[in-house]
Amino acid sequence: MTVTQTSATIAAADSAVFHRRPGDPYPVFVRGEGCELFDRRGRRYLDLSSGMAWAASLGQGNREIAEVMGRQAATLTYIHNAWASTDRQEELAARLVALAPPGFARAMFTSGGSESNELALRIARQYHLARGDSRRWKIVSLEHSYHGATIGALSMTGKVNVNEMITTDYAPYLIPFPKVPAPITFRGPFSGVDDAEATRRAAAAIEERFLVEDPGTIAAFVVEPIMGNAGMTVPPDGYLQAVREVCDRHGVLFIADEVMTGAGRTGTFLRVEASGVVPDMVIMAKAISGGYAPLGAVLLHERIADALMAARKRLDHVHTYSGQPVQCAVGLTVLDILERDGLVAQVAVRGAFLRAHLAEELAGCPWVGDIRG
């Protein structure tokens, strides 16, 4: 196979990589600086989606992070965290729980968002087993949601456009987890109503599904505080509070999937901060490492951690690179940069600025149905 090294793009027939979309040409990037990418012909691209997956939140080529990675790799490269810990893992866990809502006490690490969702699923099951409640196993989630590509995470994922294929073609492998309507007010069953009514109807739909399934079989409800694959959908005011209340009524854990929204991407470190809601678990990945290392985390409220520890529940089924010291060193440096440079506050200010200008410039445009943020 001959590959043309000077072409800006590469076709599936010319590549040894089996690309995810075999019929499409793929741009081949060779360098990045800040928010700009450069292909093999030297053409420059403005990266408006943080590496195309919302992970490279601090831009490309950050020498401070690269140097930390090198120093850590030269000091301590790998320890499997089922059998031992490292100073970097301990430090990062302490930093994250300190930044989480009140009552969060522990963190566990993974290699990314799908793994974090899988881990939260297992923790939810172990929590109920620790309390002697073996009937609870179902994870309820939203239609149009996305929680990852592994089998457990995919089972939690709702169907929408790009997800249709993965949740249909792989249906024989998936766990039949229940889904409920997403609180989308632009289109769908809640369109044309105000936030209060949308919240009431959406919360009622969750309660109804709990009752249909038998609340005693439901382990957790998982929700993205902003739904990325559903068109960056922001839930109506009061929705997350209503979800918390429904979960509490039925003894169901409330999990916030902040893979896309966490680590400052919405103007607070975690999106749930804006709602005042305290979930039982928070799932993180992507921006937690700025795209410089495969890193994810699950943050546990003390009531979850305490129950697991009291029952001496073991969570040995971890992935190979969970808590790897180079990943954790990157995570610590990302937190340092966010704090030192005041980036989370900048997100809040610049996000409001961008939204205001979009609303002004696109007012009356027939092709724009809604502006969200």
pLDDT score at 241:
97
- List the structure tokens of 14: 């010319």
- List the structure tokens of 164: 């249709």
Least trusted range by pLDDT, from 16-20, 38-42, 115-119, 220-224: 16-20
Q: Residues 142, 181: contact at Cβ < 8 Å?
A: yes
Which amino acid is residue 209, in one-letter code? R
pLDDT score at 4:
46
Least trusted range by pLDDT, from 18-22, 203-207, 364-368: 18-22
Question: pLDDT tens, 203-257?
Answer: 999 999 999 999 999 999 999 999 988 888 899 999 999 999 999 999 999 999 9
SS3 348: helix
pLDDT score at 153:
94
- Is residue 330 scored above 50 in pLDDT? yes
SS3 109: strand
Among residues 203, 204, 214, 147, the alpha carbon closest in space to that of 175 is found at: 147
pTM of the model: 0.94
- Is residue 22 scored above 90 in pLDDT? no
Write the DSSP assignment of 247-299 as a string of letters: HHHHT-EEEEE-TTTTTTTTSSSSTHHHHT---SEEEE-GGGTTTSS--EEEE
Least trusted range by pLDDT, from 30-39, 96-105, 226-235, 295-304: 226-235
CA distance 372 to 62: 30
312 exposed, middle or buried (CB, 10 Å; 0-12, 13-18, 19+)? Answer: exposed
Alpha helices, DSSP H only, in the chain? Answer: 63-75, 87-99, 113-130, 151-156, 162-169, 195-213, 239-250, 272-275, 302-310, 325-340, 343-361
Which tops the pLDDT comparison, 316 or 258?
Answer: 258
Read off the DSSP letter of residue 236.
P
CA distance 192 to 5: 52
pLDDT score at 2:
42
Sorting pLDDT into bands at 50, 70 and 90, what band is 142?
A: very high
